[in-house]
Structure 1
Amino acid sequence: MLFYNNYTVCSDNEEEGFVDLYCNENLVAEIAERNRPMLLKYIEGLVSFSGRVRLTGPQDPETLWSEHIVDCLYSVPLLPPEGNIIDVGTGGGLPGVVWAICRPDLTITLLDSVRKKCKALEELTALLKLENVRIVCSRAEEYALERREHFSLAGARAVTGTGVLLEYLSPFVSLGGKVLAFKGPLYKEEIEPLNGKEKRLGLSAPSVFPYSLNGKEHFLLIWQKKQPCSKEFPRKTGMAERKFWWR
């Protein structure tokens, strides 16, 4: 068990049940309170940019806080104690900017293929004076060739189905690192076809961390990087969506 800013951060060798104790509503409320000024400033920035580029779905501050910021906060205790992490398909910076605010000791890469979003994120993170953020405009398949097994954790929220997402994320992660995905109740249907085939990507079976937000079920899924990802991954741009690796 490690600590950052007086709250618990899981280490790579924690028991699953032990880690689960720290993914709870009370801890999230504590993290939110400690970082509220910066998180609210981030929301203001998202709203102010909405007229130029659509960084998020909802545009009102209340919904952004209750449905998006708080959702991202549930993942903070599961971040590694140190290292570089990447948010793939970051969009408006969810969850990557939230991670950067709550864990200024980590180096966060925000990856997105839409240039207008990346430009807006550059301005937004400069406004927030986040010195631990790097923004990259590229496809995941292309950037993974440059940063293969470079990150302690690769995560994504609201990007694509679980199987495709694993192909995008696994090549980024170093041995002993983690892949993290935000999912809803349908995650079981998404992971059932994989049936242990994650080994092809060098990954363990997923650990599942459930939580409730606004009366809805949410889940954080985490895979451990057990061995190097097969050299065939990442495949060429678009192949992950067209030809599923697990079939």
Structure 2
Amino acid sequence: MTENGTQAQAEESGDRALGTSAPVREYFGTRYDQVAAFADKLRAEGELRGLIGPREVPRLWERHILNSAAVVPHLAQAGSVADVGSGAGLPGIVIAVMRPDVEVVLIEPMERRTAWLTEVSEDLGLTNVQVKRGRAEEYHDAFEVDAVTSRAVAALSKLARMSLPLVRRGGEMVVLKGRNVAQEIDPARKVLRSFRCGEPEILEGTTVEGVEPTTILKVRKGA
């Protein structure tokens, strides 16, 4: 086995241990079994089905599951959430598992990914999920939600144009972003003003000790 292969194997072993650890089980509580089933399915099929890259498999819990879970506390006031560009279901499926009381709409343009999202929702017994195939722009006049989220989809200016028409007045866009998201705010201000948005907040999403916090940007749409 090559040095890189040995390292990847060690990373995956550590990630599996993280996923079964007491802090992670405690963090997810009664929702743990469903989250773990999703992680197992994603680990087994994610790369093969083009949902995640091979380098992401060994760090699935830390970089994807817990990263997605970090947004959930920031959606506390939402009764309905749309996940734009849901892909593998990150963060949408994780949100749906952790918040069975919330209606979650997964929007994804690629057919093979919508097939995956439908399949995994059924496998996990999620009755609060709707899967919609298409781009977010195709649904601008179709429905509104309390909050819209996304992960690694587009720069803030483009993301706002895609996402904010889906949000009811007074609702929020709550998105997972990289550390340099502050640099995206000024180029997006014209778009945000057009939706009468308040000042964007950059927040830290934490989960369990030792796992890197997630950077979250939240902005409220004007009433």
TM range (shorter): 0.7 to 0.9
Equivalent of 2:145 in 147, 151, 174: 151
1:105 matched to which residue of 2? 101
| TM-score normalised to structure 1 length | 0.73
1:238 matched to which residue of 2? none
1:5 matched to which residue of 2? none
Q: Number of residue pairs matched?
A: 199
Post-superposition offset of 1:211: 4.6
Identify if the C-alpha distance between structure 1 residues 59 and 46 changes in structure 2 by more than 3 Å, giving closer, same or farther. farther
Post-superposition offset of 1:70: 0.7
Deviates more, 1:211-220 or 1:177-186: 211-220
Structure 1 gaps, min length 5: 1-26, 228-247
Post-superposition offset of 1:217: 6.0
1:132 aligns with 2:119: no
1:224 aligns with 2:220: yes
How far, CA to CA, are the matches of 1:51 and 1:29 in structure 2?
25
Q: What does 1:22-33 correspond to in 2, within 5 Å?
A: 30-33=26-29
Identify if the C-alpha distance between structure 1 residues 127 and 80 changes in structure 2 by more than 3 Å, giving closer, same or farther. same
Aligned-partner SS, 1:108 = strand
| TM-score normalised to structure 2 length | 0.80
Q: Percent identity?
A: 28
Residues 26-62 of structure 1: per-residue CA shift (max 9 Å, x gap): x987433442211110011213333652122357665
1:117 aligns with 2:117: no
Residues 183-231 of structure 1: per-residue CA shift (max 9 Å, x gap): 112111111223465121232111111257867564111111113xxxx
Residues 137-173 of structure 1: per-residue CA shift (max 9 Å, x gap): 01111122322xx100011001011111011110000
Identify if the C-alpha distance between structure 1 residues 217 and 197 changes in structure 2 by more than 3 Å, giving closer, same or farther. same
1:168 matched to which residue of 2? 162
Q: Contact (CA 8 Å) 1:162, 1:190: kept in 2 or not?
A: yes
1:184 aligns with 2:178: yes
1:201 matched to which residue of 2? 195
1:94 aligns with 2:90: yes
Structure 2 gaps, min length 5: 1-22
Q: Contact (CA 8 Å) 1:91, 1:112: kept in 2 or not?
A: yes
- Cα-Cα RMSD: 2.4
| 2:182 counterpart letter in structure 1 | K
| 1:101 counterpart letter in structure 2 | V
Select the structure that is richer in helix. Answer: 2
| 1:184 counterpart letter in structure 2 | G
How far, CA to CA, are the matches of 1:170 and 1:124 in structure 2?
27
Identify if the C-alpha distance between structure 1 residues 170 and 60 changes in structure 2 by more than 3 Å, giving closer, same or farther. closer
How far, CA to CA, are the matches of 1:71 and 1:107 in structure 2?
21
How far, CA to CA, are the matches of 2:196 and 2:27 in structure 1?
32
Residues 99-128 of structure 1: per-residue CA shift (max 9 Å, x gap): 010000001000000011001111111111
1:40 matched to which residue of 2? 36
Deviates more, 1:160-169 or 1:138-147: 138-147
Q: Contact (CA 8 Å) 2:204, 2:216: kept in 1 or not?
A: yes
| 1:191 counterpart letter in structure 2 | I
Identify if the C-alpha distance between structure 1 residues 216 and 78 changes in structure 2 by more than 3 Å, giving closer, same or farther. closer
Q: Contact (CA 8 Å) 1:28, 1:73: kept in 2 or not?
A: no
